[in-house]
Amino acid sequence: MTQGSPAAGPEAVPVCPRHPDRVSYVTCQRCGRPACPECQRPAAVGFHCVDCVRELSAARQGHQGKTVYGATARPGGRPVVTLAIIAVCAVVYALQWLVPDDAVTDAFFYRNSAALTAEEPWRMLTSAFLHSQGFFLHIVLNMYTLWLFGQALEPVLGRIRFLAVYLLSAVGGSVGFLLLAPGQADVIGASGAVFGLFGGLFVVMRQRGGDVRQLLILIGINAVLGFVIPGIAWQAHLGGLLTGAAATAVVAYAPRGRSRTAVQIGGFVVIAVLLAAVTFVKVSSAVVSAGGYGI
């Protein structure tokens, strides 16, 4: 199964948002924006900017304020959804080993065939919770990356919004695999959903004025690996990346005000409908071309 730089110039010089006259190459580990020495606050890893420190402080004190994107600020700011997803993937992976005859994998993997997609479309989501039994680093690397990006994104987006972005990215990865992978191939793994978090963090950092060059390099390296290492589903990575970026943009660019949540929910629904529509068109055309489900 498949496992699942801008040119230099004045405009490229990072400056502190609070003090535009001060150049700073130190960025906040949470939001990615530059922070001058006056605006830097020590964190467990690197520095946080004063805005993120205040946001986290309000959450720890139990103030039911709002995050920058309208979600409820949670006390402690723990990435509960991220931890829950990791736990589910770990349990499923254990079951893949414990249940005989590959029954768990066979029940939840995804294959880019018209027949399987039409009859059991839920596999486009469930395959993201499976991982390769023959390559232990598959789940280790995916879960480690999910933990890193989940810590950055979940407190900013909010739990429900973060979960929506993750699940939509998982499905988007399967849609990308359906559209672009040749023949009938199988895919498992959270890579498509994790790439969605790559896209999501890129959108957040751009919207908040952060320096995205290092993130672009990271995305580029992972994208290249998908082409040079056999067995990696770059099609799922691309689908997840684009879907995650689009879903996060819905959250980040929704207008402030009472209608923001409704706009965000509506945007998620539109993305889900578009993914379903693209899948339907692809499956229908494949059935017509083959004269039935014999593909």
Domains of the chain: 5-63 (no CATH), 66-290 (1.20.1540.10)
pLDDT, position 4: 56
Q: What dihedral angle (degrees, nearest 10) is formed by the CA atoms of 268, 271, 272, 275?
A: -170
Residue 148 burial by Cβ neighbours in a 10 Å radius (0-12, 13-18, 19+): middle
User: Token pair for residue 290?
Assistant: 């083959």
pLDDT, position 75: 61
Number of neighbouring beta carbons within 10 Å of residue 220: 11
- Asked if 117 and 187 touch (Cβ cutoff 8 Å), the reply is no
Tens-level pLDDT at each residue, the chain (295 residues): 555 533 333 345 777 877 777 777 788 877 878 888 888 887 766 678 887 887 776 655 555 567 788 887 766 668 999 999 999 999 999 999 999 999 999 999 999 999 999 999 999 999 999 999 988 999 999 999 999 999 989 989 999 999 999 999 999 999 999 999 988 899 999 999 999 999 999 999 998 888 888 889 988 888 888 777 777 889 999 999 999 999 999 999 999 888 999 999 999 999 999 999 999 999 998 776 665 554 4
Q: What crossing angle do the helices spanning 213-228 and 234-252 adopt, rounded to 10°?
A: 160
Q: What crossing angle do the helices spanning 137-157 and 191-207 adopt, rounded to 10°?
A: 30
pLDDT, position 1: 57
For the chain, what is the HEC assignment? CEECCCCCCHHHCCECCCCCCCECCCECCCCCCECCHHHEEECCCCEEEHHHHHHHHHHHCCCCCECCCCCECCHHHCCHHHHHHHHHHHHHHHHHHHCHHHHHHHHHCEECCHHHHHHCCCHHHHHHHCCCCCCCHHHHHHHHHHHHHHHHHHHHHCHHHHHHHHHHHHHHHHHHHHHHCCCCCEEECCHHHHHHHHHHHHHHHHHCCCCCHHHHHHHHHHHHHHHHCCCECHHHHHHHHHHHHHHHHHHHCCCCCCCHHHHHHHHHHHHHHHHHHHHHHHHHHHHHHHCCCCC
pLDDT, position 159: 94
Distance CA 97, CA 105 (A): 10
Phi, psi values for residue 197, rounded to 5°: -70, -35
State the distance between the two ends of the chain, measured CA to CA, in whole angstroms: 18
- Asked if 83 and 166 touch (Cβ cutoff 8 Å), the reply is no
- Asked if 110 and 159 touch (Cβ cutoff 8 Å), the reply is no
Nearest Cα to 161, choosing from 76, 60, 265, 239?
265
